[in-house]
């Protein structure tokens, strides 16, 4: 698993997208690319908002991806262009410190995260000049990891252009860390599956240390992705980081009550490890220690014995300084419950009982209910879409990705796929013109795809 990303020689006559990108690059820069870098998006089958708490997730890569065509020169300038005209050209010096704007982040800021991550990893005083044209087929702000795939693609491009070498695991860890430059405190799932994915299998991704295990999905069902057409940009809003902060505070509160070194612990999984407890025991501890009412800043400060200044400095992030109340009980209950569902999902896939499809479907339904009610990361349109998917024949359906918009993933018996897609199209997309216009790229069957790759034209 811990090999380097593959380099594949490819005949472009067999790949329309690569040929179209080559043509766009030649039109833009008047020469041919040296190489192409590909990083896929992902759909998380189960395990939402638990990676940054230290728990395993179960995603698969999708066929939609970020693809970049790249040439190298000695100008020490990085030039970026995008096949989508709504994303403007950008250029930056490779000899100066790269500044990444956190306020209203643009597409090139995500690319620069990957560039900066590789530069810092190798302590490169300057970067080779690059000309890049980027093409994306992952719908933006849809919960399918378009932004992380762009960071991963940029990291791969920068490594290759500067003639450096890194393993898939190292690249995943660097890209997870450097995406935080844009203000998103993610946990590493998106970058890990983008690099570690293998065609035909989902993956259980575990952290500390990062590792990926094949999960063979049962035959007789497929996963269908449907976009509710509400966009949510994680880096441009504070919803996501508020949840990260609430989990961090819940970690401290549980640890302090149990006499642990609470100042050192930052993830809910660490409390479980320190206590040597089961997930069921952690859920009982949440019931015992935390109350369902939202906690005020003053109550948390009193419980932890810290000042309001320490609270703001040590526990809050830059874009959560305005938050006054925190739902610790609900967030911790979701995380420990969802972590348990991930393990159950993998167990069913491994043992493949006769009723595996309805068992997995039930876990997906429980996951969505927890995301909606305890983590409050759904939205009315997503809830409506999940309900329609279940009525259309899915055995299980749930939001996937950060939430607050984006996509649902549904497990559908293979013999019902066509009628399922027809019903969802007619019920959810057709009645609203804006959704109907987006339906072609918003409703599709997804099979487990491969990971990040360098392509070179034969």
Active site residues: 190
The secondary structure of residue 325, as a DSSP letter, is E
C-alpha distances out from residue 452 to 8, 68, 108, 124, 215, Å: 11, 11, 19, 23, 19
Location of structure tokens 């409703």: 443
Distance, C-alpha 100 to centroid of its chain: 20
End-to-end CA distance of the chain: 26
Beta-strand relationship, 7-10 and 453-457 = parallel
Tokens standing for residue 40: 């896929």
What CA–CA distance (Å, rounded) separates 135 from 413? 33
Cα–Cα nearest to 250, from 274, 286, 217: 286
**Is the distance from CB of 154 to CB of 111 less than 8 angstroms?**
yes
Backbone phi, psi, residue 230, to 5°: -105, 120
419: helix, coil or strand?
A: helix
Tokens standing for residue 5: 């990303």
């Amino acid at each position: 698993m811990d090999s380097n990303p593959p380099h594949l020689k490819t005949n472009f006559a067999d790949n329309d997208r690569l040929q179209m990108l080559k043509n766009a690059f030649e039109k833009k820069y008047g020469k041919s690319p040296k190489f192409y870098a590909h990083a896929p998006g992902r759909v998380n089958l189960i395990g939402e908002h638990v990676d940054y708490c230290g728990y395993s997730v179960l995603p698969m890569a999708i066929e939609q991806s970020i693809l970049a065509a790249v040439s190298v020169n000695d100008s020490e300038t990085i030039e970026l262009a995008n096949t989508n005209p709504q994303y403007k050209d950008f250029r930056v010096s490779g000899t100066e410190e790269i500044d990444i704007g956190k306020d209203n982040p643009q597409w090139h800021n995500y690319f620069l995260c990957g560039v900066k991550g590789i530069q810092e990893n190798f302590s490169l005083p300057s970067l080779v000049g690059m000309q890049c044209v980027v093409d994306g087929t992952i719908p933006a702000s849809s919960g399918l990891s378009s932004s992380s795939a762009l960071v991963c693609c940029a990291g791969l491009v920068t490594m290759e252009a500067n003639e450096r070498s890194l393993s898939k695991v190292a690249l995943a860890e660097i890209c997870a860390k450097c995406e935080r430059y844009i203000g998103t405190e993610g946990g590493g799932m998106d970058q890990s599956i983008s690099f570690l994915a293998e065609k035909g299998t989902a993956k259980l991704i575990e952290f500390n240390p990062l590792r990926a295990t094949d999960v063979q999905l049962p035959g007789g069902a497929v996963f269908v992705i449907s976009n509710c057409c509400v966009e949510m940009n994680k880096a441009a809003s504070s919803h996501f980081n508020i949840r990260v902060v609430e989990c961090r505070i819940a970690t401290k509160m549980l640890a302090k009550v149990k006499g642990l070194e609470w100042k050192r612990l930052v993830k809910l999984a660490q409390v479980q490890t320190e206590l040597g407890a089961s997930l069921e025991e952690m859920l009982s501890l949440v019931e015992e220690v935390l109350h369902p009412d939202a906690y005020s800043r003053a109550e948390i400060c009193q419980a932890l014995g810290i000042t309001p200044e320490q609270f703001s400095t040590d526990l809050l992030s830059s874009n959560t300084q305005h938050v006054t109340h925190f739902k610790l009980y609900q967030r911790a209950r979701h995380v420990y419950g969802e972590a348990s569902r991930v393990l159950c999902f993998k167990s069913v896939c491994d043992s493949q009982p006769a009723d595996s499809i309805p068992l997995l479907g039930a876990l997906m339904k429980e996951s969505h209910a927890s995301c909606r009610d305890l983590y409050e990361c759904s939205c009315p349109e997503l809830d409506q879409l999940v309900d329609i998917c279940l009525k259309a024949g899915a055995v299980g359906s749930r939001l996937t990705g950060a939430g607050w918009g984006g996509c649902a993933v549904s497990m559908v018996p293979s013999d019902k796929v066509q009628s399922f897609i027809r019903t969802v199209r007619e019920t959810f997309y057709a009645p609203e013109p804006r959704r109907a216009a987006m339906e072609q790229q918003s409703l599709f069957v997804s099979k487990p795809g491969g990971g990040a790759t360098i392509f070179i034209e034969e």
